[in-house]
Every structure is written in C-alpha cells, then in structure tokens.
Amino acid sequence: MAQFLDNFLEQDKENIAPLYGKADVEFVKGEGSYLFDTKGNKFLDFVAGIAVNALGYQNAGIKQAVIDQLNHFNHISNLFPNYPQIELAKALREVTGFDKVFFCNSGTEANEGCIKMARKYFNRKGETNRQKIITFVNSFHGRTYAALSATGQPALREGFGNMPGDFVHVAWNDVAALKAEVNADTCAIMFESLAAEGGVMTLSKEMVETINSLQKEFGCLVIVDEVQAGTGRLGTFLGFEKYGLKPDLVSMAKGIGGGLPLGVVLMRQAIADQLKAGDHGTTFGGNPLACAAGLSVVKQVCATGFLDNVKARSEQLKAGLKALVAKYSFAKEVRGDGLILGIALDESMPVGNVVAAARNEKLMVLSAKGNVLRMLPPLNVSEAECNEALAKLDVALAMANK
Ligand SMILES: Cc1ncc(COP(=O)(O)O)c(C=O)c1O
C-alpha cells in the first residue's frame, strides 16, 4: 500500500505531540543504505534511524525471521518461556561471555534495568550504603527518570521535578574527578563505551585503566551503556571489548533489534544470583518478534568478515573526514571510532547548517552535542557508499560555507 499524505510535516504537527524538531522530508521506503521520498528522491542514509538500522532497510534475514515468528505467535507475555527469547539469550551469552540476559524494549529501559539491578545486588548483599552511581557530564542514558538522572545533561531534567537521587556526574575522561568520587559507598560507575550524543567522544586509555582499577579497589560495579555503540558498531560486538573494560552489567538497544524495539541487559552470574522473580519486569520486553529479529542481527553481525567490513569502512571514512577537516577551516577535528564518526565544527559554522546542506545533497547525517556533525551508517555499508557519502559531504560543507 502506498504511504502517501498531502503534507507529512503539517499532518505531523496536527497529530503528534510537539516533542521533536522534524525535518521537512517525506520518506516512504528504505532499501539497503538508501531512503526514498514521495517524489522519488534517493537519499544515502547515514543516520540509520539513529544507529537502529544496523543492517539497513529491507534486510532479508530480519524480514524472514519476523515473518516466521508471526506464523507462530507475536506475543505470549513473560509468564511463559519461548523459543526466540531463549535462542537470542543463548546467542548473546555465547558472543559476549555474560551469564544472564534480561530483555526490555528500549535503551532507557535497559539502563533503568541496569541501575535497578546494581542497587538490588548490593541491597540483597546487605550493603545498603552503596547507592551512589557515578556517570559523566554530557552523557546520554535515556529519558525515563533514573536514566535521565544518570544522564549528564541538566537541561534535559529541567521542569520535570525531583529526580531519583545519588547520581553524580564527573567530566568525561577526567581521571582525577572520578577518583575523587569513588569510594566504599559507590554502587556503580556507569558510562557509554563511546559518548555518542554528548559529542562523539572516545574514552582515554588512562580513563579505562582508572575505571578498571577503581572497580577492583572499591568493589563497585561497572555498567557500560552499549545502546548506541554496541551490536558491532565499533568493530567489536560490544564497544567495551575494544578498550579492555570488564563491566558487570551492560545495556543494549538500538541496533540489536535491527529496527524492532528491543532492549537488553547483560549481567554476570553474581548479580543474577541476587535477583528473585518479581523484582523487575515488563510486559513487552523480549517480545518474540523483536527477539526473532535480534537473533537474525546477532547471526549476521557475528558472521565471518562482517566486523572486518565495519573496521575497513571506519578507516575509509576516517581518512575521508580527515581530508575534509584539512580542506575546510571551520572543521576542527575528526571524532569517534568504528561507525560512530563525526567532525567537530567551530562556532562559525552551526552544525544544523551542514546537516541541512547535506540533506540538499541527498545525504542524511545528524548532529551531536558541542557542534559536532555525526554519521551513523548501517554496519553493512559498502565502500562505494562511503565514497559517495564523503563526496556529498564535501559539496555540503562547501555549500554551507557560502
Ligand atoms: C547511549 C544511549 N543510551 C541510551 C539511549 C536511550 O535509548 P532509547 O531512546 O531507546 O530509550 C540512547 C539513545 O539515543 C543512547 O544513545
């Protein structure tokens, strides 16, 4: 069925709560790394649903997995064990080495789950003093109350009343500030393996070493938010593997569902041992359709050579972005890792102007905090598509500079 409306943006404004600034573009179909609008324009999509469409649009494996599952059942609740959940949990355990899996629907829920499980773990062990969770300035962990409290962006909390307490934010990569906060009352240190929304910032080697040693010294938990950086996006299945961290709890979402709403908490056995039926739960979490899609994603991302493509495309894009930084004086530096890449711009060039200019060139990119241009291509993006993106971005930067 054709998905046509007279004017998408006007009808969106009329019907949808005004919580997003939406672009005036009318997409009706996706195919691989491309999106098509009502006029037949073809856009190269380096937004990928904000890192959700890990395998692009119309991925045959995901489609087939969902159709197969629809022929069994679409939902039966968490009162009954079911095949897609169990198979996905087994695959995740095998590829990550974690011991138990909790399924939910989104990134914020996965982080809520991690936070609740971390506090419950210490509570059941009788260490009720361990409440404090340390996160980072400009981090993003989600919009529900605890995840919002964890998020290091005070503006997002404004006007929403009292927040869950005992969250402390320290500056990204500020080793001294972190050391000053962690003590025997610390429940957890929580952070993204790559701070994507906050400005495409990578962890320093010194910070990784500090987190590892504080975890050992004080017995606090380490929670890594892999919602955006996980599922292969940094060239390893989970981002932290690349940096040598040893988290106790991990949150996943976005790419793991391949476009279906799926969130995941991975935990060590010691944490699972402290949990009881009824401690936490969700109606939709681990929905069989989403888990069937997730299993297809895991199989494809873990197939031989897949992550090599992520690494090769990352190097290709980094080199291309470096050349653009050398060419345009308002472009300061290349940021990021894997396929979360960006360019930090100086104040003379608002990132929104570049995003709009890129859209004119039929390239979809997005921004991150701190005037940073961000690119999140699908993980199976091709060499030719990366060259196309770089050429389009070159024109967009020139046009934005006029
Ligand atoms: C690192 C990170 N954590 C959590 C979230 C929240 O995920 P969701 O929007 O699915 O709740 C996001 C979303 O952008 C994210 O990038």
State residue 3's pLDDT score: 82
| pLDDT (0 to 100) of residue 94 | 98
pLDDT tens per residue, range 143-193 = 999 999 999 999 999 999 999 999 999 999 999 999 999 999 999 999 999
pLDDT in tens, 201-247: 999 999 999 999 999 999 999 999 999 999 999 999 999 999 999 99
Q: What are the tens digits of pLDDT across the range 41-94? A: 999 999 999 999 999 999 999 999 999 999 999 999 999 999 999 999 999 999
Helix (H) or strand (E) run with residue 88 in it? helix 83-96
Nearest CA residue ID for atom 9, ligand 1:
107
**138 pocket-lining for ligand 1 (C-beta < 6 Å):** no
Residue nearest to atom 3 of ligand 1 (CA): 141
| 136: pLDDT strictly greater than 80 | yes
| Token pair belonging to 97 | 């080495």
Instruction: Identify the pLDDT of residue 29.
Output: 96
State the pLDDT at residue 1: 73
Average of per-residue pLDDT across 254-278: 98
Domain boundaries, the chain: 8-58+305-400, 72-301
CATH superfamily, with its number, for domain 8-58+305-400: Aspartate Aminotransferase, domain 1 (3.90.1150.10)
Q: Mind giving me the DSSP string for 17-71?
A: -S-S---S--EEEEEBTEEEETT--EEEESSHHHHT-TT-BS-HHHHHHHHHHHT
Measured distance CA(105)–CA(233) in Å, rounded: 19
Domain spanning 72-301, CATH architecture: 3-Layer(aba) Sandwich (3.40)
* Per-residue model confidence (pLDDT) at position 4: 84
The CA distance from 334 to 369, in Å, is: 14
pLDDT for the residue 106: 98
What average pLDDT does this structure show over 293-298? 98
- The answer to whether the CB of 314 is under 6 A from ligand 1 is no
Q: Which of 323, 313, 321 is nearest to 378 (CA)?
A: 313
- Comparison of pLDDT for 4 and 305, the residue scoring more: 305
Ligand 1: which of 139, 224, 254, 374 to mutate, judged by most atoms within 8 Å of the beta carbon?
254
* pLDDT surpassing 90 at residue 388: yes
3-state DSSP call for residue 334? strand
Q: Which atom of ligand 1 is nearest to the CA of 226?
A: 1
Strand blocks (E) in 142-232: 167-170, 186-192, 194-195, 201-202, 221-225
